[in-house]
Structure 1
């Protein structure tokens, strides 16, 4: 099916037309790191009913910020951007690996493919057949929003780390170097939390789990397997609170159409091209995360197995089943 030319190229997403420094994102970066430092350092003086939700928000917000940074923000200088995104507040995802995997995800012609899309939740027939009945039960539970939020973080984190360790054991030196640097960063984060601030590391790990769960709400229904590439990416409107947390990545079809557009310009661009985007994605629009919860809290959003086995097209060789990451992040070009 030919792609309809309804979204012409725009200077909005060309690096040559960007300002050297995007100050709204710089301010956001200061708010995220400043908020995290303040909340952890003064945690004993903050009531738990305020502290826990605030820290969960900040850690999840940091992941959304990392997604923004991977897409080349907030400066023109890659080294500066990577330094801003490196600090592993969520502990389990090395920023460099997240960038590599999310770049692969933005090959839209391979979206949802269980082998080529690192953020796909679908399974290829051979991999599904190899799962034990217990594993199939766990995977099936995550096709509901409640299952994704409760089980998803443990499933994603454990599978991701296991996959990375397997790659290191196979002799992948690039991944090994990434994890050595990440390990030092994660150790520094835990040292700040537990030694300097006196917070229980188990409490912080619980906050990371909850933050990951919150991020999985965003990725739960943002893609589905369809023959038409343009029909694979959803839009969630009317999300003033979670939209801010996700830096407007809820407007996911707009993000995939203009992946380098800054988060604070995405709503305006979406409003300008709304009708074209909805026509292009086949009307895959949700009227807020409340609608997603009402429809899929305990009902399946989709089947775990990819309906076509793999996405039609030229396959790209990869090392095994895709590992679904927090979604919350992306590409520098």
Structure 2
């Protein structure tokens, strides 16, 4: 009876998503735009407030970009692409994010060091060959403190290195994705130059937003024999859950990636037992619990504990 109720609930939500207008998403987008705009027009002397407002807006906008790539604004992929192309966070082109994230949604490959582009794990053989200093840095990056301080640098360095390698091999789509990103960067920097926000402060806010987002991605996935057991649920409904647009219900998102963010909590509640059975009770009560538990302690090893070469 419970399973039947869950299926009916899922179908109802999906039908509403196909037919309805996603006003909460538009409202969140307007909030991010207003906070970002107000931060830029505040007078000199408000630097700390502007920085906090920009981190808030840029974090929320990044989460909205995730919603955009899953079709969360328009039914047209092209229209969603035009909306996502403007990335005030500067560092990550929307089209690259879209391509890599949709590849990440191949759940059979989740956490694979090679086939999952968002995996935080390394091939154990690569890990063994790393210099001691690199292993120390990556080990620190596997604590929450490390993830929010050095994590953005490590992530961006790996991201850029991979894309430069792809461009050198002649993958023109990667080059085009970066070229499509440049107009938004130019517009953003021009607007910042017209404001009271120094460029260094704006760039530090972009970094701060990436750091906040690292809290979300820190333990979204774990190594597990079953693909369904790799995605977490964090039963949080606070400010971080809002900034992440309920992606803390990550197992639910992976099971139903087209469901809008504001339906994820209700969908989880309607089938909590089933979701937790599926993900093998990979669940936390809140982000506060995670911060206390892993601020200075690694949750996982850097080397994937279960990974085996495909040809073995």
User: Structures share a fold, TM > 0.5?
Assistant: yes
Paired position in structure 1 for 2:75: 76
Question: Which whole-Å CA distance do the structure 1 matches of 2:222 and 2:169 have between them?
Answer: 32
Structure 1 residues 144 and 43: CA distance shift in structure 2, 3 A: farther
Q: 2:267 aligns with which of 266, 269, 275?
A: 269
Structure 1 length-normalised TM = 0.86
Runs of 5+ unmatched residues, structure 1: 316-333
Structure 2 length-normalised TM = 0.92
Structure 1 residues 43 and 209: CA distance shift in structure 2, 3 A: farther
Q: CA deviation at 1:144?
A: 0.6
Q: Which has the higher contact order (CA 8 A, sep 6+)?
A: 1
1:90-101 to structure 2, matched below 5 A, reads 90-101=89-100
Q: CA deviation at 1:170?
A: 2.1
Paired position in structure 2 for 1:322: none
Structure 1 residues 134 and 160: CA distance shift in structure 2, 3 A: same
Question: Which whole-Å CA distance do the structure 2 matches of 1:12 and 1:70 have between them?
Answer: 22
Paired position in structure 2 for 1:48: 47
Question: Which whole-Å CA distance do the structure 1 matches of 2:287 and 2:87 have between them?
Answer: 27
Question: Which whole-Å CA distance do the structure 2 matches of 1:22 and 1:6 have between them?
Answer: 24
For the aligned residue pairs, the C-alpha RMSD in angstroms reads 2.3
Runs (4+) of structure 1 exceeding 4 A deviation are: 4-9, 12-17
Question: Which whole-Å CA distance do the structure 2 matches of 1:84 and 1:211 have between them?
Answer: 20
Paired position in structure 2 for 1:307: 305
Question: Which whole-Å CA distance do the structure 1 matches of 2:311 and 2:85 have between them?
Answer: 33
Question: Which whole-Å CA distance do the structure 1 matches of 2:292 and 2:17 have between them?
Answer: 42
Q: CA deviation at 1:283?
A: 1.1
* Contact residue 226 and residue 232 of structure 1 kept, 8 A: yes
1:12-91 to structure 2, matched below 5 A, reads 12=12, 14=14, 18-19=18-19, 21-42=21-42, 44=44, 47-91=46-90
Q: CA deviation at 1:276?
A: 1.2
* Contact residue 25 and residue 73 of structure 2 kept, 8 A: yes
SS in 1 for 2:44: helix
CA offsets 1:181-211 (integer angstroms, 9 cap, x no match): 21222122111112x2142211111001111
Q: 1:284 aligns with which of 255, 276, 282?
A: 282
CA offsets 1:235-283 (integer angstroms, 9 cap, x no match): 1113321110100000111111111100111111111111211122111
* Contact residue 145 and residue 295 of structure 2 kept, 8 A: yes
Question: Which whole-Å CA distance do the structure 2 matches of 1:101 and 1:5 have between them?
Answer: 34
Paired position in structure 1 for 2:224: 226
